[in-house]
Every structure is written in structure tokens, then in C-alpha cells.
Amino acid sequence: MLQIDLISIFPDYLTPLNLSLLGKAQERSLIKIAIHDLRDQTKDVHHSVDDTPYGGGAGMVMSPEPWGKAIDAITNEKDQVDLIILTPAGKRFNQQMAMEFSKKSHLIFACGRYEGIDARVGQYYAGKNNFKVHEVSIGDYVLGGGEVAAMVIIEASTRLIPGVLGNPESLKEESHSISSDDLILVEYPNYTKPANWRGIDVPEVLLSGNHGQIAKWRLEQAERRTNQLKQE
Ligand code: 6GU
């Protein structure tokens, strides 16, 4: 069972995690997702979680102590934890990382907002022997916060856990199309009924019943698409 904790100042923003595939995976006890409000760890009347940056500059930085308290509250020394800090300055998430995360037992997602989390939070937990800290980004653009990024990572990772997907055959097909460096999902185009839709026919080879020919055609199509993506 994979335990997933998320810490955020907008816990409601993460409620889609209880829907669909992930909702079912939780019902089946394949994963357990818990969402925590960072502000629960503050005592002042304003429940403040941020402050001005040392050294000056625009924006606010998230204070370390609420993060420390929130993480400590959901872990113990015996727990092997992977702490994932969402930041546009992190390592770019890919299918290989999804595969790695899917095999873990306890993932904690720290969803920062503003100009990010005080750098000592990652440094402190990286120094603990039962923690592994990952700074992760989902691409070269800036989001308002880590919540959506955390959901992307959780969706990509949990569907790789045996039993989460309804049809495990689709995982097997995917795994053949991942190159060593990164995800190159060179899927061939897919068609279903009707055979003619708005004047457009399904490629004839797919109706032929010749499995050798079909496999050859699909490979050609996948390669054509890969080369096209490289040129863009
Ligand atoms: Cl993980 N966080 C934020 N705020 N922006 C991002 C991101 C993460 N990944 C890409 N852009």
C-alpha cells in the first residue's frame, strides 16, 4: 500500500484526487491519500505561512517551521519517506520518475506557493537518514503553486501500481514505447467504429485481419510521428 500525503494551503484544490481511478484505488486499498492544510500548523491569529525574503526582492517566501511541523506530524523515524518538493526549479518529471515513485511506500508532496519554500526545509530532511528529498518540476512554465503539479505526478505514478489500471495490457503496450532517456510515447493513431465517419475511412489495413501487416503499419506510423515531433 502506497501512502500519499499532500501538504498545501489550498487543500480543497486537491479534492479531484478522490475521483475516478484514484478514488477506486483508495477503495481497493492500493493507495491511501491524505490531504493536510499547512495553516493547521500555525498559531498566530492570521495563520501566516510566509514572510519577506532575506536579501530583499519581490514576493514572499514560505516560512520553514509550519512545513517542519506538518511533515513531522505525518512521519516517524521508522518510516522510509520520499519528500517531493514541487518547484519550477526542480528536476523535470518524466515517465522514469513516475516508475520510480510508483514503487515507494510513502510519498509526501510539499505544495509550495508564492516564491517557494525556505530552502532549509529540503536541506533539513535531506539530512535525515530515513528521508529522500526530490525537487521536482513538471515542465518549463510557471504555475501559481505546486498543487496541480502534485496531481500530475500522482496520476502518472499511481496508474503504474499493479491493480490500479482496469486493463494492465495497456501498460504493457506503453512500456514498449519508452526510450531510455525520456518518454517518447510514439503511439500509432487509433480508430474505432464506424469504419467511415463524416466521409473519412479507417485505414484499410486495420480491417484486413492480417496481424503482421497491422503491426508493420502501426510501427511505421509511430516512427513517422516520432520524427515529426523531433522536427517541431
Ligand atoms: Cl512543480 N511548481 C510551480 N509553481 N510551477 C511549476 C512547477 C511546479 N512545474 C512547472 N511549473
First CA to last CA distance, the chain: 41
pLDDT at res. 177: 65
Percent of the chain with pLDDT over 70: 96
| Residue 137: band (very low, low, confident or very high) from pLDDT cuts 50, 70, 90 | very high
Ligand 1: distance of its center to the CA of 148 in Å? 8
Q: Which atom of ligand 1 is nearest to the CA of 138?
A: 9
Ligand 1: distance of its center to the CA of 94 in Å? 14
Ligand 1: distance of its center to the CA of 31 in Å? 24
The reply to whether ligand 1 has any atom less than 6 angstroms from the CB of 63 is no
Which residues fall within 8 angstroms of residue 80, CB to CB, at 6 or more apart? 105, 106, 130
- Report yes or no: 8 and 24 within 8 Å, Cβ to Cβ: no
Mind listing the pLDDT tens digit for each residue in 107-136? Answer: 999 999 988 999 999 999 999 999 999 999
The reply to whether ligand 1 has any atom less than 6 angstroms from the CB of 158 is no
The reply to whether ligand 1 has any atom less than 6 angstroms from the CB of 66 is no
Q: Which atom of ligand 1 is nearest to the CA of 149?
A: 1
Question: Smallest Cα–Cα separation from 224: which of 181, 186, 192, 196?
Answer: 186
Q: What is the mean pLDDT of residues 13-19?
A: 94
- Choose the weakest-confidence range: 69-73, 100-104, 164-168, 214-218: 164-168
Q: What is the mean pLDDT of residues 3-10?
A: 98
pLDDT at res. 220: 96
pTM above 0.85, yes or no: yes
Mind listing the pLDDT tens digit for each residue in 28-49? Answer: 999 999 999 999 999 999 999 9
Q: Which atom of ligand 1 is nearest to the CA of 141?
A: 11
Give the chain's mean pLDDT.
Answer: 94
C-alpha cell at 102: 510508483
CB atoms closer than 10 angstroms to residue 160: 18
Ligand 1: distance of its center to the CA of 198 in Å? 41
Residue 164 confidence (pLDDT) above 90: yes
pLDDT at res. 184: 60
Q: What is the mean pLDDT of residues 18-31?
A: 93
Q: What is the mean pLDDT of residues 80-102?
A: 98
Buried/exposed 206-228: b ≥16 CB within 10 Å, e otherwise: beeeeeeebeebbeeebeebeee
Ligand 1: distance of its center to the CA of 133 in Å? 16
> What gap in Å lies between CA 150 and CA 36, rounded to an integer?
13
Residue 9 confidence (pLDDT) above 70: yes
The reply to whether ligand 1 has any atom less than 6 angstroms from the CB of 143 is yes
pLDDT at res. 170: 77
Mind listing the pLDDT tens digit for each residue in 173-226? Answer: 777 666 655 556 689 999 999 999 999 999 999 999 999 999 999 999 999 999
